[in-house]
A and B are shown apart, each in its own frame.
Chain A
Amino acid sequence: MYDIEISDLRKLIQLVKDKYDYDFKDYAMSSFKRRIKRIIELYKFDSVDALVEKLTHTPSFFEEFVSEVTVNVTEMFRDPSFWVVVRDEIIPNILSSHNKISIWHAGCSSGEEVFSMQILLEEMGIRDKSHTVATDIDTAIINRAKNASISQKNMELNTSNYERYQGKYVLDKYFSKNKDRYHFNQDILSNVSFRKHDLVKGQVFSKFDIVLCRNVMIYFNQTLQNSVLKTLHESLFKYGFLCIGSKESLIWCDISNKFSVINNEEKIYKKSRD
């Protein structure tokens, strides 16, 4: 079976940078290679060169390419113990000194973490005090997040996570079912705005009390992780909270000294210095 070499990937990355101004150079090579392999199999290209050829001559294919390169596997209430800490400690901490709460989901994918957070706020009775921005590099996936429809297959996991989180009700309450799709109640997304944003470009567009960027930076190498963390740091109010994935770490990062650890198990940090 066909295997991809680094030189093939370099060629592809260069083309995408030159032609489309998207930079995948500092993506983690192991997963990037698998994504490209996946695209090649999915679209039945016979080599990376064939994919390069297609991208050279068919700009309309680029959006699909971005959708497939980025990883869009996510679940509601992933790591239920994390969401418990957000509910019982982080949000109360913010509300003890603020009337309003602003949230950024950086790399929101199909929106499962956004839905989880909105349910959390709704059940705390404070959703009207919140404003949320959810961003992703991939336009198609943002549209899917806005559309907020989940397959029956994925709902099983979401439901068992919600039960472990010990939500107030049953998860189904927030959905209407149509055949094998579950549609998330749009009213609960009324304080959320979805936008396109590329973390790699490093643009800071607002400041937030909480930034969630869980299992996004794992697709980047350390150089890019450092620069993205700088962006996230700048996007937080002083004493705001940064949440990353349970197996991500700030230890190796240049600006780790500007954060203090709030919960090491759940990887929640506080911006302690500007």
Chain B
Amino acid sequence: MFSYSKLSNKYKAIVIGGSAGSFQPITQILSGLPESFPLPIFLCLHRLKHVRNGFVEALSIKSVKPVLEPHDKESIKRGNVYLAPANYHMSVELGNSISLSTEEMVNNSRPSIDITLESAAFSYKDKLIGILLSGANKDGALGMKRIKERGGLTLVQDPEECTIKTMPQAALESTEIDMSLSTKDIVKFLVELDRLYKVKHEKI
């Protein structure tokens, strides 16, 4: 359920994972983001390993912000949207940059959502929001657990709304997830969050 009490301007980053059935909700989120949205967003979506081109373009079409596939050690900038490139794991590195890697597949996936989520949780600690969308395997469940353990906020797409609910369901089973929301409410949450950061700026 949507809860205003979870809103806070302490957050520094958002990380979103998704697999089968996540293209539509992610598009909805990216198109509903306010242009001024201040936090960096890391997207780790399962994708074909050998198709390097096309995906980032497809996501960019409807997105308010450009979606970027970072290079290794690229610095993280506020308000940017970063998509894990094909056939690489994407991690948040200490010191505000992004690391890519070709390590073993995790949960049969490269990029793996667990890797992106865990590394982000390690860097941002309680200042991270993790969002897990529709998907057909359990990748992301451990990552969401890590976010929760380090004091971050965890949201999943409401399994009832998911095309395939295995992924958010697995997270719900492994961790006490803060909120299970429809895509519409995830967007609303991000819009409210943006408003909060604006208020903060006006005060200054």
Chain A positions within 8 Å of B, measured between CB atoms, are: 1, 3, 6, 28-31, 33-35, 71, 73-74, 78-81, 160-161, 164, 215, 217-219, 221-222, 225, 245-249, 251-252
28 residue pairs A–B, Cβ–Cβ below 8 Å: A3-B146, A3-B149, A28-B91, A28-B93, A29-B93, A29-B94, A30-B93, A31-B91, A31-B99, A31-B101, A31-B103, A33-B122, A35-B103, A71-B103, A73-B102, A79-B52, A161-B50, A164-B50, A218-B73, A218-B101, A218-B102, A221-B73, A225-B73, A245-B102, A246-B85, A247-B70, A248-B71, A248-B72
Given contacts A31-B99, A222-B73, contact A6 B94 (CB under 8 A): yes
Q: Which of B94-116 contact A (CB under 8 A)?
A: 94-95, 97, 99-104, 115
CA distance A56 to B5 in the complex (A): 50
The 3 closest A-B pairs by CB, nearest first: A30-B91, A249-B71, A218-B72
User: Closest Cβ of chain A: how far from B175's Cβ, in Å?
Assistant: 12
CA distance A252 to B71 in the complex (A): 10
Which residues of A lie under 8 Å from residue B70 when comparing CB positions?
247
B residues with a Cβ closer than 8 A to A are 50, 52, 69-74, 85, 87-88, 91-95, 97, 99-104, 115, 119, 122, 142, 146, 149
- From B71, B99, B146, A30 is in contact (CB under 8 Å) with B99
Q: Are A247 and B85 in contact (CB under 8 A)?
A: yes
Q: How far is the CA of A164 from the CA of B50 in the complex (A)?
A: 10
Query: Which of A6, A73, A246 is within 8 Å of B104, CB to CB?
Result: A73
User: Which residues in B have their C-beta under 8 angstroms from that of A219?
Assistant: 101
For the complex, what is the distance from the CA of A215 to the CA of B102, rounded to whole Å? 7
Chain A residues whose CB sits within 8 angstroms of the CB of B69 once the complex forms: 247
When chains A and B are docked, how far (Å) is the Cα of A249 from the Cα of B50? Answer: 20
Contact A28 B99 (CB under 8 A): yes
CB distance from B76 to the nearest CB of A (A): 13
Is there contact, CB below 8 Å, between B103 and A251? no
Report whether B72 and A34 are in contact in the complex, using a CB–CB cutoff of 8 Å: no
Measured CA separation A33–B101 after assembly (Å): 13
Which of A30, A81, A248 has a CB less than 8 Å from the CB of B92? A30
Given contacts A28-B93, A30-B119, A161-B50, A247 and B99 within 8 Å (CB-CB): no
Residue in chain B with minimal CB distance to A217: B72
Query: Which A residues lie within 8 Å of B73 (CB)?
Result: 28, 218, 221-222, 225, 249, 252
Q: How far is the CB of A174 from chain B (nearest CB, A)?
A: 21
